[in-house]
Amino acid sequence: MKSDSALERISTEDAPDTGQVGPVGDDAEEFEEWTTIVDSKRPWFDFNLGELWRFRDLILLFVRRDFRITYVQTVLGPLWLVLAPFLTTVVFTIIFGKVVQVPTDGIPSFVFYMSGTVCWSYFSSSVSQTSTVLIKNYRLFQRVHFPRLVMPVSLVMSNLIKFAIQFSFFLVFLVYFVIQGSGVAPNMAMLALPLLVLHMAVLSLGCGLIVAGTATRYRDLIQLTAFGLQLWMYATPVVYPVSQIPERFRFFFALNPMTAVVETFRYAFLGKSSVSSQDIVTSAVVTVILLLAGLIMFTRMEKTFLDTA
Amino acid sequence: MNTSCRAKGALVNMSVVIRVEDVCKVYRLGVVGYGTLRQDLQSWWARTRGGEDPNAPLDAPPKHADSDANILHALSNICFDVSKGESLGIIGRNGAGKSTLLQIIAGMTIPTSGRVKIRGKVASLLSVGAGFHPDLTGRENIYLKAATLGMSRAEVSKKYEEIVEFSEIGRFIDTPMKRYSKGMNTRLGFAVAAHLEPEVLLVDEVLTGGDHKFRLKVIERLKALSAQGCTVLFVSHKLGALRQLCSRAIRLDQGRMVEDGATDTVINNYFAALALPGSDLSEDGDPEDFRGAAGNGDDAYERNKRTITAGKAASAETTDDVRKPGEPETNGPARILGGFASDGQGNKKTTFSYAEDITFTAVIEVQRRDLGLASVLAVVDENDNRVLASYDNDLADSQLAAAEPGIYNYRVTLGSRLLKPGLYQVNFAIRDGNSKILQKRKALCAFELVDNETRRGLQGNYDKGAIVAPELHWELDHRS
């Protein structure tokens, strides 16, 4: 090792022949603060959301890319998208509606199940895609630097396109049942749909981020997530109404943030539900907590997962 | 070494754009956790109860998980400042920490200790082709790649024509990128990054793809950016390009910064260090070399290099008594002990004149007689081009084949007035009867060739634009 003095030299001394070295005096005001500091320690609350905003174009481009690749360049892509919830709904209608005969608050079982399925499939596919985001894009992250949060956010947004298609499909059936006059009563609460969608998006982002960071170290979390999502569906009033739950268990149901989402959705489009404003507030609070937890865990891992994954 | 290398009285230069302060990066070798949650929980439970970790490898050193053997210091106490508009070259052999350093400056991974401070927008071009999606067209990928580098749609649209023109993709711009050649990929990747107008540009080995013409264009573009006030950090094994682009360079060796100074000096010292006995690069697997060797159709040489790369990770620290990966077992028929370059009088030296013969000597220990023994020597220039190669059994069997056990000086002489002035490295390998490499030594020795003989040399106008620049006999006959 050479003596330290070699290291202490100041750059300008070593570049005598170029004239490329920036002037010292005049430009001094231009340089006030460091714009970026890469440090070994980062505060846990430093999510760098400003950076995320700067890369908003990238988020949209990723969404566009996903859209192009899944829907434009495949033949069956969009068709499959409507077929999947349709078939699921048919199965639910037969099994839970006809065989088990779960009461559906007097709503035709087909739209009842379809409303639940459409909401749930958005949530579940957002979570499962977000949870593998770091592992699947490892190669890219290793080579290109952009805020890692861009990826999960764009995934959640890509799924919104899918949701929009499935939701329109649901509307077609809804209109049919309204015309049939089968006790379905869409109402002004429909206007809250954007809020509901935002709620689901934030919730799925939060849950996905919690898994994503940790899954870089523990791959079994991926399987666990897939399985957990299945169980979670049965803990959410997708195939049954909350009104079937005994009063003393209702509180625990309200803690599941998806309960209020699905029930509010049903209230708005089908006209019947037993969701209370208190449930909605509880759900919102839990969602915010989950999002924060997700952000914390994700930002903790994003700087080091390249070394450990 | 002192833990802090920041000089106390260092001038606070306001034009400093990048300040690297005492950066260290430590990797734990081996396992990080055991991969599954169950096992980690098991280990944690066992540790809290004070028992033995059921998942610990049997040969794991007890307790001290952080003992030195398990730790790789990828970077140790790196400090330097880069001023606005300056181009800084980073050189060093593979594994010296160059790429890790760039990754840290790019913010892709955090240092274990220390910090990097940057003023201005950073664009990193650590891998030109990354960020492209094969199913999207060139046009769409331009927007996508530019966005990953932090450029807005509006900015890209403004620069779009320029990017396409620079990349020379032309009418293929609306073709999906999976149909592009590697060269086109590289060109487009660089074109996007080169038109970012970042304040700091980090570039890692972009010159690997693309043809010679494009490389020149890249260097021109980087120079132009630098002239506009963009600070460029440039990692490359193409030392010639580095010389053209950077006035200042730092040299890393095993994670330490061993030199910081004018590029020419640093490169010369780098070569001098290569030539030092003991600075064996044989464990160095440079992907660039593979292509070079493959180009020469020398399959065995190439294969061996691959095995050497595979062993690279394990040889973070090599000590003299440990057999390095790629070296033969001690019971092989022969092994290389060392080597040097000397002039006609037998004086060992590293700087030769254009008019001097250069004798390369490999010290070889023959351990047992082997009729198939042979060797090959290659001269590589500072841009990693294999300038020449010579096989000792081209005409007849190698003299090594008849050698009784013992230690030999194996000499070969390169005639004078052949190569252009510059820095060269000599690679040497011994092969067995099946042309399989038994052992190779990258940088057996290195030498600098200076021209103080010819008229151009004396005027300081060295470069004839070709690697082989022999003195030929010219004849002029009058046609009557």
Question: What is the pLDDT confidence band of residue B358, given thresholds at 50, 70 and 90?
Answer: very high
The reply to whether residue A55 touches residue B147, judged by beta carbons under 8 angstroms, is yes
pLDDT score for A159: 93
Question: What is the pLDDT confidence band of residue B10, given thresholds at 50, 70 and 90?
Answer: very low
User: What letter represents residue A287's amino acid?
Assistant: T
Chain A residue numbers touching B122 (CB-CB < 8 A): 36, 145
Does A8 touch chain B if contact means CB atoms closer than 8 Å? Answer: yes
Please give the average per-residue pLDDT across B371-390, as a whole number: 87
pLDDT score for A274: 78
d(C-alpha A95, C-alpha A103), whole Å: 12
Rg (CA), chain B: 26
Query: From the CA of B415, how many Å to the nearest CA of chain A?
Result: 36
pLDDT score for A199: 95
State which of A7-16, B37-46, B371-380 shows the largest mean pLDDT.
B371-380
**Beta carbons within 10 angstroms of residue A126's beta carbon:** 26
Closest by Cα among B228, B257, B268, B261 to B246: B261
pLDDT score for A20: 35
pLDDT score for B454: 78
pLDDT score for B55: 62
Chain A residue numbers touching B147 (CB-CB < 8 A): 55, 57-58, 61, 146
Residues B86 and B248: beta-carbon distance below 8 Å = yes
- Tens of pLDDT along A103-145? 887 888 889 999 999 999 999 999 999 999 888 888 888 778 7
Chain B residue numbers touching A302 (CB-CB < 8 A): none
Query: From the CA of B325, how many Å to the nearest CA of chain A?
Result: 24
pLDDT score for A71: 72
Helix H or strand E encompassing B47: helix B37-48
**Beta carbons within 10 angstroms of residue A229's beta carbon:** 17
* A173 vs A17: which has the higher pLDDT: A173
Give the mutation candidate from A1, A39, A137, A144 for the B interface (greatest B CB count, under 10 A): A144
Query: From the CA of B86, how many Å to the nearest CA of chain A?
Result: 5
Query: From the CA of A166, how many Å to the nearest CA of chain B?
Result: 26
- Tens of pLDDT along A73-113? 666 767 878 888 899 999 999 998 888 888 887 888 889 99
Question: What is the pLDDT confidence band of residue B289, given thresholds at 50, 70 and 90?
Answer: very low
Q: Which residue among A4, A36, A143 sits closest to B127, beta carbon to beta carbon?
A: A143
- Provide the β-strand partners of residue B429: B376, B440
Question: What is the pLDDT confidence band of residue B275, given thresholds at 50, 70 and 90?
Answer: low
Residues B128 and B177: beta-carbon distance below 8 Å = no
pLDDT score for B151: 80
The reply to whether residue A21 touches residue B84, judged by beta carbons under 8 angstroms, is yes
∠ CA(B36), CA(B40), CA(B43), 5° rounding? 145
Chain A residue numbers touching B130 (CB-CB < 8 A): 139-140, 142-144
- Tens of pLDDT along B35-87? 556 666 777 777 666 666 666 555 544 444 445 566 788 899 999 999 888 99
Mean of pLDDT over chain A: 82
- Tens of pLDDT along B248-274? 999 998 889 999 999 888 888 887 777
pLDDT score for A248: 84
Chain B residue numbers touching A15 (CB-CB < 8 A): 83, 86, 247-248, 262
First to last CA, chain B: 77
Alpha helices of chain A — where are they, by DSSP H?
A: 11-14, 49-54, 56-67, 77-92, 109-131, 133-136, 138-143, 150-180, 193-215, 220-235, 250-255, 257-270, 277-302, 305-308
Does A26 touch chain B if contact means CB atoms closer than 8 Å? Answer: no
Q: Which residue among A1, A140, A218 sits closest to B36, beta carbon to beta carbon?
A: A218
Residue of A nearest to B134 (CA): A69
Q: Which residue among B86, B119, B147 sits closest to A34, beta carbon to beta carbon?
A: B119
Does A308 touch chain B if contact means CB atoms closer than 8 Å? Answer: yes
Query: From the CA of B432, how many Å to the nearest CA of chain A?
Result: 38
Closest by Cα among B231, B175, B11 to A8: B11
d(C-alpha A157, C-alpha B272), whole Å: 56
The reply to whether residue A145 touches residue B121, judged by beta carbons under 8 angstroms, is no
pLDDT score for A244: 83
Residue identified by tokens 């709503």 is A107
State which of B50-64, B391-405, B452-466 shows the largest mean pLDDT.
B391-405
Axis crossing angle, helix A220-235 with helix A109-131, rounded to the nearest 10? 160
- Tens of pLDDT along A230-256? 999 999 988 888 888 888 888 888 889
Cβ contacts below 8 Å, chain A against chain B, sum to: 204
Chain B residue numbers touching A39 (CB-CB < 8 A): 110-111, 115-116
The reply to whether residue A20 touches residue B85, judged by beta carbons under 8 angstroms, is yes
d(C-alpha B113, C-alpha B100), whole Å: 14
Give the mutation candidate from B34, B44, B84 for the A interface (greatest A CB count, under 10 A): B84
CA distances from A193 to A172, A177, A190, B124 (A): 17, 20, 5, 41
Query: From the CA of B222, how many Å to the nearest CA of chain A?
Result: 13
Say whether pLDDT at B378 is over 60: yes
**Beta carbons within 10 angstroms of residue B276's beta carbon:** 12
pLDDT score for B208: 62
pLDDT score for A29: 40
Please give the average per-residue pLDDT across A196-203, as a whole number: 95
* A150 vs B311: which has the higher pLDDT: A150
Residue of A nearest to B266 (CA): A14
- Provide the β-strand partners of residue B412: B360
pLDDT score for B210: 61
ipTM (interface predicted TM): 0.72
Closest by Cα among A77, A60, A164, A194 to B144: A60
Strands (E) in B277-373, as ranges, are: 334-342, 351-353, 358-366
Q: Which residue among B84, B151, B247 sits closest to A17, beta carbon to beta carbon?
A: B247
Tokens of B58: 């049997």
pLDDT score for A241: 87
Say whether pLDDT at A278 is over 50: yes
Rg (CA), chain A: 25
Q: Which residue among A10, A65, A308 sits closest to B11, beta carbon to beta carbon?
A: A10
Axis crossing angle, helix B138-148 with helix A56-67, rounded to the nearest 10? 150
Residue of B nearest to A145 (CA): B108
Chain A residue numbers touching B110 (CB-CB < 8 A): 38-40, 42, 303-304
Does A19 touch chain B if contact means CB atoms closer than 8 Å? Answer: no
Chain B residue numbers touching A306 (CB-CB < 8 A): 103, 108-109
pLDDT score for A104: 81
The reply to whether residue B229 touches residue A22, judged by beta carbons under 8 angstroms, is yes
Question: What is the pLDDT confidence band of residue B282, given thresholds at 50, 70 and 90?
Answer: very low
pLDDT score for A126: 95
Q: Which domains does chain B have, with CATH numbers?
A: 79-120+199-273 (3.40.50.300), 278-315+329-458 (2.70.50.60)
Mean of pLDDT over chain B: 76
Chain A residue numbers touching B119 (CB-CB < 8 A): 31, 33-36
User: 3-state DSSP call for residue A265?
Assistant: helix
Q: Which residue among A35, A140, A143 sits closest to B119, beta carbon to beta carbon?
A: A35
Closest by Cα among B258, B256, B234 to B247: B234
Alpha helices of B62-196 — where are they, by DSSP H?
A: 98-105, 138-148, 153-167, 182-194
Query: From the CA of A306, how many Å to the nearest CA of chain B?
Result: 7
- The number of residues making up chain A comes to 309
A128-166 exposure pattern, b = at least 16 Cβ within 10 A, e = fewer: bbbbbbbbeeeebbbbbbbbbbbbbbbbbbbbbbbbebb
- Provide the β-strand partners of residue B71: B28
Q: Which residue among A7, A27, A62 sits closest to B260, beta carbon to beta carbon?
A: A7
d(C-alpha A39, C-alpha A106), whole Å: 60
pTM of the model: 0.70
pLDDT score for B4: 47
Chain A residue numbers touching B153 (CB-CB < 8 A): 57
Chain A residue numbers touching B140 (CB-CB < 8 A): 64-65, 68
Say whether pLDDT at B292 is over 80: no
